[in-house]
Amino acid sequence: MFYSRFLPVAIVFSLFYACNNPQKTSSFEQIPDRKWWKEAVVYQIYPRSFKDSNGDGVGDLRGIISQLDYIKSLGIDVVWLNPVYASPNKDNGYDISDYRSINPEFGTMEDFDALLKGMHDRGIKVMMDMVLNHCSEEHEWFKGARSSRDNPYRDYFHWWPAEKGKPTPRFSFFDVKGDAWKYDSLTNSYYLHYFGDFQPDLNWENPKLRQEVYAMMRYWLDKGIDGLRMDAFQYISKDTTFPAFPPGYEKTIAKYYNGPTLHNHIQELNREVLSKYDIMTVAEGAGSTLDEAMLFVDPNRKELNMAYHFEGVDFGYVPGEFKVPDPNGLNLPGMKAIYAKWDQHFEKKGWLSIYLANHDQPRMLTRWGNDSNEYREYSAKLLNTFLLSMRGTPYYYFGDEIGMSNIKFDKIEDYKDVETLNMYQKAQAAGKDLQKFIEAQKISARDNGRTPMQWNTSVHSGFTTGTPWLKVNPNYDNINVAVQNSDPKSILNHFRQLVQLRKSEPALVYGKFTLVQPESKRIFAYTRELEGRTLLVLMNFSDQRVATDTGLNIAKSKVLISNYPNKMEGRELRPYEALILELF
């Protein structure tokens, strides 16, 4: 009612206001203590699935190079590449056999150098994935270590000699039995692996290992890369006396994974390597509490720049089950409370990342939005509005800019991911309902987020001329880059506008975040305030019309961006409506 009626007045008012209150139109130059990595938008590329250049069905570096102008057109600042190092690929590159070479499937070091140059020429920074909790069983270090007890690499790993009896239990995420110790007959010992048994954990208590790791990082940083994502970093420190834990220990992994020496190691790493370069660094996972996470990113402690927590993306799964979505659907007040709590804790110091998807998650549209034909576009734009209007550096997953959705495989045979395959076996061994397992995985499996990029309507979505390593989502016919590029109202072009808006609005980066209507079950709304400038983000996370009741005077406001072609109707938000208003 009031908004549309007052619109002409609002426009006149805002023009008048803008001319007479220049001090409120804050610019980035006015911000004290700016950091480029706080202002950046990160675009994550899963190299296997982005673009294949040679028809072998696997995405590669030349494929990424062929799309540099597309990447630039998004307006993003940083590209995070999932691991591209030599790897037997049992966990798609998170099992590294040589940290200083490129996986031949992806190309050569010359290709990498060309990629880095191509990015830098376009003003885009490159962030690499550092997988340092573990390596591959095929790494030279491990091959040496397992060959004899007195091999110089033996202490690069954690061993339990079998003459001491069975090791005290530790939990493994990927093991069918959940057992992190694997017996190796060659030296009659067990080695530790928190992930797959092909991913032996590195022994960070060994200073030689640490120096070797630092030298490897310098090798990449001296090439000119701009950032490091520290994979599974909260697990690197272990109490190497391996004390026994009480029964049910596997549920308490959160209590022991932040080992006693963790922060000494990160501070040493900072001193010896990170502090020498102008880079951004992020810890994947940062403990399980707010205070634990702060330890990684409190600038006084000189560790890392930012952390990403799992509480947001883990929310809404049935506790104690493997990624089974809550049958009651999205509990929006609960979700809002999580984001508000994390934001508040890092308001004065430290910094977080904001994400709803990555290669370890399903597609955000299916998990957090609505992937039906009716609401797909609206809800994809809504989720983008959320990601680009929160405080924290957005980490944006490739393909979400066109609204890719879960492929929802019916058969276990279609899955490639070691996690899903092992958890299936685990469910089978426990006599669980396997049909239920498959149904849950349609929402939550990681392979949903790993299907190839949908470029155009040609065969295999233009991703490859060969057979794709993982099936392409059949909806590429109408969900693809080519179609959306030429449609000014597409999800893709709305995303580009949002990125530009964030780049021109310091309030979206640095402004104070305040939840509005926290108890609403359908509306997610908050303000971002900076130096007298107030932006209001209004999002309807439901397929119903809902009246807003923000208590704010939105009659005097200007729409900065919206996902509906015509103006908001009165105080009612339409299904999945999402807009950012400037309040006066």
Binding site for Ca ion (CB under 5 A): 52, 54, 56, 58, 60
Give the footprint of ligand ISL on residues 46-105 (CB under 6 A).
91, 94
Distance CA 176, CA 424 (A): 9
Residue 360 contact, options ligand ISL, Ca ion, none, Cβ 5-8 Å cut-off depending on partner type = ligand ISL
Tell me whether residue 90 or residue 522 sits nearer to ligand ISL (CB atom): 90
204 binds ligand ISL (CB under 6 A): no
179 binds ligand ISL (CB under 6 A): no
Length of the chain (residues): 584
Shortest Cβ 441–ligand ISL spacing (Å): 11
Q: Is 487 exposed, middle or buried (0-12, 13-18, 19+ CB in 10 A)?
A: exposed
The amino acid that residue 296 corresponds to is F
Tell me whether residue 195 or residue 395 sits nearer to ligand ISL (CB atom): 195
Shortest Cβ 240–ligand ISL spacing (Å): 21
Q: Which CA distances in Å does 416 have to 42, 286, 413, 463, 509? A: 26, 28, 8, 18, 38
Catalytic residue among 77, 197, 284, 582: 284
231 binds ligand ISL (CB under 6 A): yes
Catalytic residue among 201, 231, 371, 582: 231
Give the footprint of ligand ISL on residues 434-453 (CB under 6 A).
446
**Which candidate, 580, 567, 564, places its Cα nearest to that of 511?**
580
Query: Residue 142 is inside which H or E element, if any?
Result: helix 140-147
The binder of ligand ISL chosen from 268, 326, 360, 569 (CB under 6 A):
360
Residue 505 contact, options Ca ion, ligand ISL, none, Cβ 5-8 Å cut-off depending on partner type = none
Radius of gyration of the chain (CA): 24
Residue 201 contact, options Ca ion, ligand ISL, none, Cβ 5-8 Å cut-off depending on partner type = none
284 is catalytic: yes
205 is catalytic: no
Both tokens of 127, joined, read 């962030």
Report DSSP state, residue 525: E
173 binds ligand ISL (CB under 6 A): yes
Terminal CA-CA length for the chain = 18
Shortest Cβ 62–Ca ion spacing (Å): 8
Shortest Cβ 131–ligand ISL spacing (Å): 6
Tell me whether residue 57 or residue 285 sits nearer to ligand ISL (CB atom): 285
Count of residues engaged in binding ligand ISL, rule: CB under 6 A: 13
303 binds ligand ISL (CB under 6 A): no
Distance CA 429, CA 432 (A): 8
Q: Which CA distances in Å does 449 have to 92, 297, 420, 509, 542? A: 13, 28, 13, 27, 23
Give the footprint of ligand ISL on residues 368-407 (CB under 6 A).
none
Give the footprint of ligand ISL on residues 409-438 (CB under 6 A).
419
Report DSSP state, residue 81: E
| Cβ neighbours around 220 below 10 Å, total | 18
At 510 the three-state DSSP class reads helix
Residues in contact with ligand ISL by the rule CB under 6 A: 91, 94, 131, 173, 195, 231-232, 284-285, 359-360, 419, 446
Q: Which residues are catalytic?
A: 231, 284
